[in-house]
Each structure stands twice: as structure tokens, then as C-alpha cells.
Structure 1
Amino acid sequence: MYTFSNRLKTFSIALMIIGAIGVVIGFMTSHKSFEEVEAIVAAESAHHGGGHDAEAAHVAPAASHDTHAAEGHAGEEVHHEDAHKKHIEHVQHQIANRPWSALYVAAFFFMMIALGALAFYAIQFAAQAGWSPVLFRVMEGITAYLLPGAIIVVLIGVASGTIGHYNLFVWMDPEVVAHDKLIQGKAGWLNTWGFAIRGFIFIAGWSLYRHFARKFSIAQDNADDNKNFKKSFRISAAFLVFYIYTESMMSWDWIMSVDPHWFSTLFGWYVFASMFVSAITVIAMITLYLKNKGLLPFVNDSHLHDLAKFMFGISIFWTYLWFSQFMLIWYSNIPEEVTYFVTRLEDYKLPFLGMVAMNFLFPLLLLMNSDYKRIPWFVVMAGVVILAGHYLDIFNMIMPATVGDRWFIGIPEIGSILLFGGLFIFVVFTALTKAPLLAKGNPYIKESEHFHY
């Protein structure tokens, strides 16, 4: 049985503490007064050679104009001051959004790894796969993070609409909804109670499957028959049906609704691909870590090769979905659809194009060769690039709608990654100590131990 080393435990706790400090600093520095934001905008305008403040100099009425003209210019000036005030308040709102958004991106990223691992685990049972049972306890350890991780995501979403004054989801703001016909039309779905109730249903369904699958898996270790395995097979098949529906709805609620004026029929599949490849990558990396410690002697190069094949294949699948979504929307050039990508290409060019390179070009070049898939350090290197790329993918989904062009990867973002990364390591490796690392009662375990490709 695996023992959670004091060194790793200390490391995970240190990550959480450092991350929490970073998050607190992010929130403390995001609360800026109207005057502070106005000074920031004025400095930016001066740096770029004008802007709102420069335009203001040209709207004052000339003394030689007649009274009617002066009144017209006075009205223009009032209108300009109104627009200027709204612009400053908008920027102030975006700056305040940043720590909430950074926290949400990191929370969702680690939650989706656990959810993707649960789906991959269920697929192995439903397909009665013979190669993967030696990896089941690693998958079960990763899925232990799903319940706390998903609850945290929902709590951040709801808290941002109460404590944070509608920072993440504009449809939670009654004033916005009152003046927005499109959001009003979606109010039957996009409302705080609906968001919370659906979140509870999603989490309850996922967690119940994880609980019983884990229970049957451990019970099978000491069983004389395959009853527990058959139960796992049946509930896995049922769970996959539940999962494919709830994963799509979750992606609409928890990600796509940050920008309620935009939608994509491919979005659920797109998020699934990102989730799936990230989960398989983490399974591979934790497996390699444990094998390096001498704790998984039954895992061989063929298991690593198959995990790396999945990393490669799902990366190509993700690219297919990304290109399908991008190309169809860009080519049709419908204003309310294409604005999603225009915003990202104008304000997020580096993370947007960098994400595509990291999620497609790097896996393609690093993992195409079959021999490289069997080299541990090579798989780890590819895995680090893939995980960083898919963090940027979630970053690109959330940030443009919540912080606009006020994005930066700094203390709030790094602090959030460290906080949830530390929590993820702590929960996962604690779960790995609760049962033997070999699911010895699985009927396919001998086939898995002697798997060669």
C-alpha cells in the first residue's frame, strides 16, 4: 500500500499556503477607486497617443458660437463625460474581476482533470479493457478530487454573483438582464437557482458513481466471484450516458455562460476533449512518479505507450474540434458569433495562438514517433506542455468575457494554480493511501500485468 511521504505532503501544503497568499494579494490589489482607475486609463491614453481624455479637449464649446451651438456642444460634453464615466467604471469592474476569474480558471482546470479521469475509468470498465486494470487505483486516486473540486467551482461561481457583485456571470445581475432582451430570453435557464440546482445534480451523479465504483473495486479484491466487477460494468455503462449529457450542460453553465450572447453547438465536445486529454496526461504522470518510486512494478513500457497514444490521439481530436468550431464561425462571419474569436485574436493573440501550438504542434512533434512514447522523461515533457496548453485553453474561454483586455498572468493566476494544484496533490495522494495500488481481484488483472504491445 502506498504511503503518502511527509516530503510530498509538506510540498502540497506549502503550495496551498503560497497559493492562498497569492490569491489574497490578488484580491487586495484589485480593489481600486474610481480615481485610481481614471489615472491608469489616462496614463494608458497618453502612452498610446490619446484616447478618451484627448478627445475631451475637443468638445468644449467655442466662445464665438451662438447660444444654440453652445447648448449643442454643452450637451455633447455632458454625453462625453457620461461615456467617460461608464468607461472608467467598466475598466474598474474588469480589474476587480481578475482575481475571481483567475481563481475560477484554476479551480475548473483541476476539477476537469478529475472528471475526465472518472470518464476514462468508466470507459475502461464499460469496454472491459484488458490493458488498463493495473492503472485503476491511480485513476481512483485522481477522481477523489472531483467532489471537493466541483463544489469549489460552483461556490466560486455563486459567490462571484453575491460577494463579488456579478464578476463572472453577467446574467446574475438583475440590472443587466433588465436591459438585455437576449439574456431575458435565456432567463429560464440562466438564473442563479437553476445554476446551483443543476450543479448539485451534476456533482451528485458524478460522485455517486465514483463512490460505488470505488467501493465495488475494493470489494472485488477479496471476492471469490466477479459479482462486484459485473456491478461496476453495469453502473459504468449507465454513468457514461449520464456523463455525456451532464458534461455538455456543465460546459454551457460553468464556462459558455460567462458570455451569454455567444454559443457554439460544438462547445460541449470541445470542453470534453480538453478535459479528457488533460486527465489522461495526469494519469500518465502520476503513474510514472509512482513507478519511479518502485510502487508500480507491474506497470510496463506498453502501458506507458498506450497512455501516450491516448495523449497523442486526443490532442489530434481536440485540434479537429477546435478547428471545426473556429473555421465554421470565422467563415460564416455572422457578427454575433465571430465576435468571440475577434476578441481573442485582438486582445489575446499570444495565449490564443500559443494555446493552439501547445495543444497541437507540440504533442504532434513530441509523440508521433512510437519509440518516444516509451521514454518516461519524454512523456513527462510532453505532458507538461499539454497541461500548460489546456490551462491556457480554459484561460482563453473565461478571461475575455470577464476581464477583457485587462488580462495578465501574474500573482492572482499563479497563486490560484498553486493553491488548487497543492490541494489536488494532497487529495489525490491521500486517496492513494487508502487501498492497495493493484486491483488484484479484477478478472482482467493478469492480462493487464502481462500486457505487451
Structure 2
Amino acid sequence: MFIFLDKIFFDQEQNFTVLTKIKDHQPWTVLYISIFYFTSISIGALFFLGIQNVSKSGWSVIIHPIMEEISSFIPYGGGMILIILLLNTMDIVHIFHWMDADLYNPISLKYDEIIANKRIFLNIPFFLIRSIIYVLGCSFFYLNIKNISCSLYISHSLNDYKKLYFRSIIFVIFFSIISIFMTWDWIMSLNPHWFSTLFSWYVLSSFIITGISTITIVSIYLHKNGYFPLFSESHLHDLSKYLFSGSLLWTYLWFSQFLLYWYGNIPEEITYFIKREEIYNSIHFWMLIPNFLIPFFGLISSKSKSNYKIVFSLSLILLIGHYIDIYNLIAPDIHEGIKFCVFEIIGSLLIIGGFFIYILFSNFNKRKLNSSEGNPFFQESKNYKYPHI
């Protein structure tokens, strides 16, 4: 009888401990996912802007202020990520498993040889230094590019345009390098036993798609409300082509990673897919629907690419699909994987998303949407007409 009662109390205590552990870390996890998601949108928009400046694309010049203001969340999102990382180092939050000092101690029962062998890269001081470089670097280039762009609006100077051009080149090179380490640190290090050589490119493609989707949604919204009259179906058509090609790039990288791992069938590699299949019922396959199939068939027609309602809806679907992708990348690798809780996800999205929208539109109130007039290609962009529309 006593043994039976002891077992009941032990089971209840164990269940309570597990539940407490989940409750302690799940809100932080979904909050971290939302912060990373909205920060990636801003970074993707800035990277897309840098590409437009470097390639001297004339069609997109009138949309540059939209891209710059969407990028304005970078310092805030980056700062919040740094706070969560600091809370991890202080043992208040336990998202990054490898930060446990016992994993590196050969005497400890928790000793992990694989993680210990990565100590040169996975150590807290170096990790924080790298993260600070990512945040400060992206924030610096955002502020610098925006300031030069504002100066160009006033001066109409060719020298200012050259500064914008060369600063964008430096940023594209800088981000092409740090994006590799950023995704390793902020996502892939959540599971130090697993690695992928395609992972950084895969996440970068998601950055670009979510950035362009947000640029498209904001542009359509402002245009429909009469604040952005220069935006036309021709500009929408070109943005739609980027959405279409971006979704194909993401799918290609998704398939390349999956195909190589499935064909190799190496346990330490396929555990990435097996874990997600067990926790979320093969969510890594289902998310192909919003991220590939719907955009593919929805944007394959040239007429669809210039339809405001269709492109707006598909951009929104892509944003939802890539949130699921980010969630799928992060959540399963924290402890034994957190359960999918709709209320916590919606709450974190409302908090961080609301802050993101507030920053975005408060900046629009302080700035004219025709502030790219000083750009030498402004008239080309203003009069841009896609031939088949």
C-alpha cells in the first residue's frame, strides 16, 4: 500500500516538475521565435534594399523608403535578442542547451564529448561577442544607409548617391558573411549535435522572402489608402516576380537538404527530420503548401502578378508559412521540443508584431514617402511601365 502511494506521489511530483519545466521555458521560446521572426523581416528588407542599390535597379527606387522603414526594427529586435541571450548566460532562461557548464566537465554525469569538442566556437564570451557584432553591424548599416538616403533627398548630389552605392556594397558583403554565423549561433546551436552546410543559405532565403512579402503588403496597403500614389501595377509585378523566384529558391534549398540527408541516412543527420515528424506530425512537409505550392500556382501567371488582391493574399500566406518554418527550426531543438500552443504563439506575435507595426508606422509619420526623389533613377522608377501590363 505504502509502495503504491509512494509511486503515486513520485509520479505526481515528476509530472509537476516536467510541467513546471515546460511552463518555465515555453513562453520564452515562443517569444524568442517571434523576436527572431520580425527581426529577420527587417534584416531581409535591408538586404533586399542593399541589392537594389548595388544593382542600380531603377524600377524599385520609389519603394526604397518603404524598405528603409521596414528595416527600422533591426536595432530593437536585435537588442531584444541580446537580452534573451544574456538571460541564458545568467541561467535564468534555458533555451541554449550548450551553455550548461556541466556539459564541458569530464567529471560531470552530463559531460558531452561532442559539445566539449566545439568549445572553441561554442563558448559564452565568444558567442556574445559575435552576437553583438551582428546586431551593431546591421544597426549601423541601417542607420547609415537611411541617413545617406535622407541627405540625398535634400541635396540631389551625385556624391551622396555614390556614398549610398558603396555603403550598400559593403553591407551586402558584410551581411553575406555574418548571416552564415548568425544562423549557426541563433538557430543551429540550439542542437549542437546536428549541422547542415546548406542551413545558412536556407534561412537567408527565408529572410529575403519575408522581407519582400512585408514590403509588398505595406506598399499595397499605403497605395490603397491613397498615401503611395506612385506605386503601380508595374512595381507590383516586379515585386511579385521576386516573391515567385524567392519561394522557388527556398524550396530548392529545402529539397536539397532533405534529399541529401534522406539519401545518406546517417543517424546524426536524419534526427533533424525524425524529431520534427514525431513532435509536429511531419510539419516540415506540410509547410511546403504555404511556402511553395500556393505561391507557385498563384504567381505563375503574369496577370496574377499584377493583381493587388492576389499578391496581397499570397504575401500574407508566405509570412504565415515562414513563421511556421522559423518555429519548426527553433522549437523542436529546445529541450525535448515544446508542444504547439496556439494561445502562446498568438500572444507573442501580438506583442512583438504590435511593437514592429508601431515602430514602422510611427516612422512613416515622420517621413515623406517620396523621399527618394534625390536618387538619379527616381524618374525612371516613377514612370516605370512593365511592357506586358
Q: Do they superpose with TM above 0.5?
A: yes
Quote the offset at 1:192 in angstroms: 1.9
Check if 1:168 corresponds to 2:95.
yes
Seen in structure 2, the aligned counterparts of structure 1 residues 445 and 37 have a Cα distance that, compared at 3 Å, is: farther
Aligned equivalents of 1:411 and 1:38: distance in 2? Answer: 28
Task: Give the SS at the match of 1:298.
Answer: coil
SS in 1 for 2:287: helix
Partners of 1:201 and 1:320 lie apart in 2 by 30
* CA–CA distance in structure 2, aligned partners of residues 182 and 277 of structure 1: 34
1:351: Cα distance to partner? 3.1
In the alignment, residue 351 of structure 1 is paired with which amino acid?
A: I
Alpha-carbon distance, 1:39 to partner: 4.0
Map 1:18-417; keep pairs closer than 5 Å: 38-39=11-12, 92-162=20-90, 164-165=92-93, 167-178=94-105, 179-349=111-281, 351-402=283-334, 404-417=336-349
Post-superposition shift, 1:433?
2.3
Question: Residue type of the partner of 1:114?
Answer: S
Per-residue CA deviations over 1:220-273 (Å, capped at 9, x if unaligned) read 112143111100000111111110011110000000001111010111100000
Q: Which amino acid aligns with 2:377?
A: Y
CA distance in 2, matches of 1:347, 1:190: 27
Which amino acid is 2:96 matched to?
A: F
Shift of 1:211: 1.2
Cα pair 2:156 2:375 within 8 Å, conserved? no
Q: Tell me if structure 1 keeps the 8 A contact 2:284–2:325.
A: yes
The answer as to 2:379 corresponding to 1:451 is no
Do the aligned residues in 2 keep the contact of 1:97 with 1:403 (CA within 8 Å)?
Answer: no
Contact 1:95-1:403 within 8 A present in 2 as well: no
Match of 2:3 in 1: none
Structure 1 residue 403, shift from structure 2 partner: 5.0
Distance 1:294 1:404 in 2: 50
Q: Any idea what the Cα deviations from partners look like across 1:399-445, whole Å, max 9, x if unmatched? A: 11115354123222111111010000011111222321111110000
Q: Identify if the C-alpha distance between structure 1 residues 413 and 161 changes in structure 2 by more than 3 Å, giving closer, same or farther.
A: farther
CA distance in 2 between partners of 1:131 and 1:316 (Å): 22
- How far apart, CA to CA, are the structure 2 residues paired with 1:354 and 1:404? 21
RMSD: 1.9
CA distance in 2, matches of 1:190, 1:443: 47
Stretches of 4+ aligned residues off by more than 6 angstroms = none
Specify the code of the residue in structure 2 equivalent to 1:371: K
Which residue of the partner structure matches residue 440 of structure 1?
A: 373
Q: Supply the distance in 1 between the matched residues of 2:145 and 2:58 (Cα, whole angstroms).
A: 17
CA distance change for structure 1 residues 412 and 329 in 2, over 3 Å: closer, same or farther?
A: same
CA contact 2:305–2:311 (8 Å) conserved in 1: yes
Which protein has the larger Cα radius of gyration, Structure 1 or Structure 2?
1
Aligned partner of residue 345 in structure 2, secondary structure: helix
Residues in 1 aligned to 2:219 and 2:60: alpha-carbon distance in whole angstroms: 12
AA partner of residue 448 (structure 1):
S
Farther-moved stretch of structure 1 (154-163 vs 168-177): 154-163
SS of the residue 1:296 aligns to: coil
Q: Could you tell me whether the CA contact under 8 Å between 1:347 and 1:404 is conserved in 2? A: no
CA contact (8 A) 1:301 1:374 kept: yes
In 2, the alpha carbon distance for the partners of 1:36 and 1:231 equals 70
For structure 1, which segment, 245-254 or 224-233, has the greater mean C-alpha deviation from structure 2 after superposition? 224-233
Using the alignment, how far apart are the partners of 2:10 and 2:191 within structure 1? 24
Mapped contact 2:202–2:253 kept (Cα < 8 A): yes
Contact 2:88/2:99 (CA < 8 Å) preserved in 1? no
Cα separation, 1, equivalents of 2:10 and 2:378: 62
More displaced 10-residue stretch of structure 1: 296-305 or 155-164: 155-164
Measure, in 1, the Cα distance between the counterparts of 2:218 and 2:233: 15
Whole-angstrom CA distance in 1 between matches of 2:307 and 2:320:
20
Residue 383 and residue 213 in structure 1: after superposition, are their counterparts in 2 closer, same or farther (change >3 A)? same
8 Å contact kept, 2:97–2:335: no
Aligned residues, how many?
373
Counterpart contact for 2:236–2:305, Cα < 8 Å: yes
Tell me how far apart the structure 1 counterparts of residues 280 and 229 of structure 2 sit (CA, whole Å).
45
The answer to whether the 8 A contact 1:94-1:404 is kept is: no
